Amino acid sequence: MIDGVDKTGTFYEQMPRNELESFQSKALIRTVARAAQSQYYSNKFKENGLDVNDIKSRDDIVKLPFTTKEDLRLSYPTGMLAVSPMEVVRMHTSSGTTGKPTAIFHSQEDIDNWSELMARCLAMAGATANDVFQNMTGYGLFTGGLGLHYGAERLGMWVIPAGAGNTTRQIMLIRDFGVNVIHATPSYAMHVAERMVQDGDDPRSLGIKIAVLGAEPYSEEMRLKLQDLYGFTAFNSYGLSEMNGPGVGFECPYQNGMHVWEDSYLVEVINPETLQPVAEGEVGELVLTTLRRKAMPIIRYRTRDLTRVLPDECPCSRKHIRLARMLGRSDDMLIVRGVNVFPSQIEEVIMQHSWIGGNYVIYLTRKESLDQMVVKVEIAPGAFDGSIDTLRYRRTELQHQLKDQVGFNVGVEVMEPGSLPVSEGKAKRVIDERGV
Ligand code: DLL
Q: Domains of the chain: which residue ranges?
A: 1-329, 334-432
User: Quick one: what percent of the chain has pLDDT higher than 90?
Assistant: 88
Nearest residue to 424 (alpha-carbon basis) of 223, 167, 231: 167
The residue whose C-alpha atom lies closest to atom 31 belonging to ligand 1 is 216
Instruction: Compute the distance from residue 239 Cα to the ligand 1 centre, in Å.
Output: 5
Instruction: Compute the distance from residue 238 Cα to the ligand 1 centre, in Å.
Output: 5
Euclidean distance between CA atoms 182 and 163, whole angstroms: 11
Instruction: Compute the distance from residue 144 Cα to the ligand 1 centre, in Å.
Output: 9
pLDDT number for residue 146: 98
Query: What's the topology of domain 334-432?
Result: GMP Synthetase; Chain A, domain 3 (3.30.300)
Pocket lined around ligand 1, Cβ cut-off 6 Å = 94-95, 137, 142-144, 214-217, 236-241, 245-246, 303, 305, 326, 329
The residue whose C-alpha atom lies closest to atom 9 belonging to ligand 1 is 240
Euclidean distance between CA atoms 345 and 363, whole angstroms: 15
Residue 5 has pLDDT above 60, yes or no: no
151 vs 424: which has the higher pLDDT: 151
Instruction: Compute the distance from residue 301 Cα to the ligand 1 centre, in Å.
Output: 14
Instruction: Compute the distance from residue 428 Cα to the ligand 1 centre, in Å.
Output: 14
Residues 345-358, mean pLDDT to the nearest whole number: 94
Residues 1-23, mean pLDDT to the nearest whole number: 78
Quick one: pLDDT band at residue 2, thresholds 50, 70, 90? Answer: very low
Digit-coded pLDDT (tens) for 244-281: 999 999 999 999 999 999 999 999 999 999 999 999 99
The number of the ligand 1 atom at minimal distance from the alpha carbon of 329 is 18
Residues 219-236, mean pLDDT to the nearest whole number: 97
Q: What stretches of 115-224 adopt beta strand conformation (E)? A: 132-135, 158-160, 181-184, 210-214
The residue whose C-alpha atom lies closest to atom 28 belonging to ligand 1 is 217
Residues 189-202, mean pLDDT to the nearest whole number: 96
Residue 241 has pLDDT above 60, yes or no: yes
Residues 310-334, mean pLDDT to the nearest whole number: 93
> What's domain 1-329's architecture?
3-Layer(aba) Sandwich (3.40)
**To the nearest whole number, what is the mean pLDDT of the chain?**
94
Instruction: Compute the distance from residue 211 Cα to the ligand 1 centre, in Å.
Output: 16
Quick one: pLDDT band at residue 436, thresholds 50, 70, 90? Answer: low
Euclidean distance between CA atoms 434 and 171, whole angstroms: 39
Digit-coded pLDDT (tens) for 386-410: 889 999 999 999 999 999 999 999 9
The number of the ligand 1 atom at minimal distance from the alpha carbon of 242 is 11
pLDDT number for residue 6: 65
pLDDT number for residue 166: 95
- DSSP string of 355-389? TEEEEEEEEEEEETTEEEEEEEEEEPTT---S-HH
The residue whose C-alpha atom lies closest to atom 13 belonging to ligand 1 is 240
Instruction: Compute the distance from residue 317 Cα to the ligand 1 centre, in Å.
Output: 26
Euclidean distance between CA atoms 244 and 93, whole angstroms: 10
Instruction: Compute the distance from residue 269 Cα to the ligand 1 centre, in Å.
Output: 17
Euclidean distance between CA atoms 79 and 129, whole angstroms: 40
pLDDT number for residue 384: 87
Q: What share of the chain is helix, strand, coil (3-state, %, to 5)?
A: 35, 25, 40
Euclidean distance between CA atoms 164 and 65, whole angstroms: 38
Pocket test for ligand 1, best of 219, 326, 423 (most atoms within 8 A of CB): 326
Residue 3 has pLDDT above 80, yes or no: no
pLDDT number for residue 227: 98
Euclidean distance between CA atoms 339 and 408, whole angstroms: 9
Most confident of 61-70, 336-345, 427-436: 61-70
pLDDT number for residue 1: 41
The number of the ligand 1 atom at minimal distance from the alpha carbon of 239 is 5
User: Are the folds of 1-329 and 334-432 the same?
Assistant: no
Instruction: Compute the distance from residue 213 Cα to the ligand 1 centre, in Å.
Output: 10
Lowest mean pLDDT among 197-201, 213-217, 380-384: 380-384
Q: Where are the alpha helices (DSSP H) in 158-280?
A: 167-176, 186-198, 220-230
Lowest mean pLDDT among 69-78, 124-133, 178-187: 69-78
Question: Helix, strand or coil for residue 415?
Answer: strand
**Pairing status of strand 158-160 against strand 132-135:** parallel
The residue whose C-alpha atom lies closest to atom 25 belonging to ligand 1 is 240
Nearest residue to 61 (alpha-carbon basis) of 274, 290, 254, 220: 290
Digit-coded pLDDT (tens) for 128-158: 999 999 999 999 999 999 999 999 999 999 9
Instruction: Compute the distance from residue 423 Cα to the ligand 1 centre, in Å.
Output: 15
- DSSP string of 295-333? SS---SEEEEEEE-BPPS--TT---S-EE----EEGGG-
pLDDT number for residue 343: 92
Digit-coded pLDDT (tens) for 22-37: 999 999 999 999 999 9
Which element (helix H / strand E) includes 265? Answer: strand 265-270
Nearest residue to 266 (alpha-carbon basis) of 60, 99, 5: 60
pLDDT number for residue 423: 85
Q: Which amino acid is at 89?
A: V
Pocket test for ligand 1, best of 240, 261, 308 (most atoms within 8 A of CB): 240
Euclidean distance between CA atoms 284 and 278, whole angstroms: 6
